[in-house]
Amino acid sequence: MNIESMINVENLKKLVTRREVLAVLLVLFLFFAFYSVKLLGVSSTVTTQSVLGKYTQEGELVHVAILKNNTLYGESLRRAEYPIPLVERFVLTYSYRFTPMTEIRGTYRTSGIVKYSVKRGSEEIVLWEDMLFEDSGELKDGKFIAEYNLNLTELNRRTAEIMDQLGLKRLNRKIVFTTNVHVEGKAFGKEINENFGHVSTLIKDTGSGLYYFTNEKESVQKSIIERQTQRTRISKYGVTMYADTAKKLIPLLALLFLTPLIGGVYTIKSQRPKNEFKDLAPYITEGAPVEVEKRVILATKDDLKKTFDLLDKPILHYTEGGEDIYVIIDGGIAYEYRHKKSN
């Protein structure tokens, strides 16, 4: 190490051991340490979501009864319930549509099944099923329409035949209309792949003497959601940076200011003169002897300690001529040890 380097090291030691410098280093360390801990609770990323749009799938079974000769309702009737004796047949129209009509393609399958069943307690036991109609195809402009004529006169004959074959005098009859649609394509710029199902039934309630339909309309609406993940920004004292960067940088700065702080404290402690009389400190009293008859000069600190152990007298301490003087008085005799002060 050359002389210039030695001078620079000495200057650095003097700088970091100054009280005002140590105070600044301590404040800076505590500042960055505080924000290092505070940043532990800050997420590095934030996820936002926005609704780009909504799409709807809707299916509806429209039913119109064609009536037998009557003077009350005329030839046809459209309502929620129908008197069983007046209905000859139903004209059924099922319609499905996907809105908004965008880049959508898909297929559909719709069918009608009549189920004959009996009840055993609360359990329904299906004994026979007949397929009434079945239709399938592709969607056009996101929709389709299917029509079917349900002739109840023929259905009643078929029911009587099945009851005769089964040997039952009472048989429950339920007509189930099922539609399944599969669509895929793009809506609001996002790919979709969806299934839609709709089940409706025609109930013959002999107790009330009425036909009625259940669940004639089914509608499903969904939202197209876009999620974005962004890096979190934090701002403090006019400085803005990403949270993940701050989590790395700020603890590093805290460590950067802690290092010279520890070095300065260590240097100060190492430069302090060692207290060679630490073990005798409880027995040392400040003050000088007044009159003594004789002085005995002790050569070393160990001699002072041995004299103290032997005489068990307090040790007086005072300074004179740049020296620390330690004296033990015993019967007019002063046992004196002189210790030069450290620079």
Q: Which two tokens stand for residue 44?
A: 């590095």
Domain residue limits at 208: 51-229
The tally of domains found in the chain comes to 3
Residue 73 sits in the same domain as residue 202: yes
- The per-residue pLDDT for range 242-277, each reduced to its tens digit, is 888 888 888 888 888 788 777 777 776 665 555 667
Residue 84 sits in the same domain as residue 165: yes
Residue 30 sits in the same domain as residue 13: yes
* pLDDT value of position 111: 94
* pLDDT value of position 3: 46
Who contacts 139 (Cβ-Cβ below 8 Å, separation ≥6)?
96, 98, 104, 105, 106, 107, 108, 181, 183
Residue 124 sits in the same domain as residue 173: yes
Instruction: Give φ, ψ of 194 to 5 degrees.
Output: -130, 150
Residue 84 sits in the same domain as residue 220: yes
Instruction: Please tell me the pTM assigned to this model.
Output: 0.58
**Tokens 């008085």 sit at which residue?**
329
Residue 251 sits in the same domain as residue 135: no
- The per-residue pLDDT for range 208-237, each reduced to its tens digit, is 999 999 999 999 999 888 888 888 888 877
- Tell me which of 10-24, 41-55, 89-103 is least confident: 10-24
Q: Which two tokens stand for residue 318?
A: 């005072």
* pLDDT value of position 332: 83
Residue 84 sits in the same domain as residue 145: yes
Residue 129 sits in the same domain as residue 56: yes
Residue 117 sits in the same domain as residue 222: yes
Residue 145 sits in the same domain as residue 177: yes
Residue 13 sits in the same domain as residue 79: no
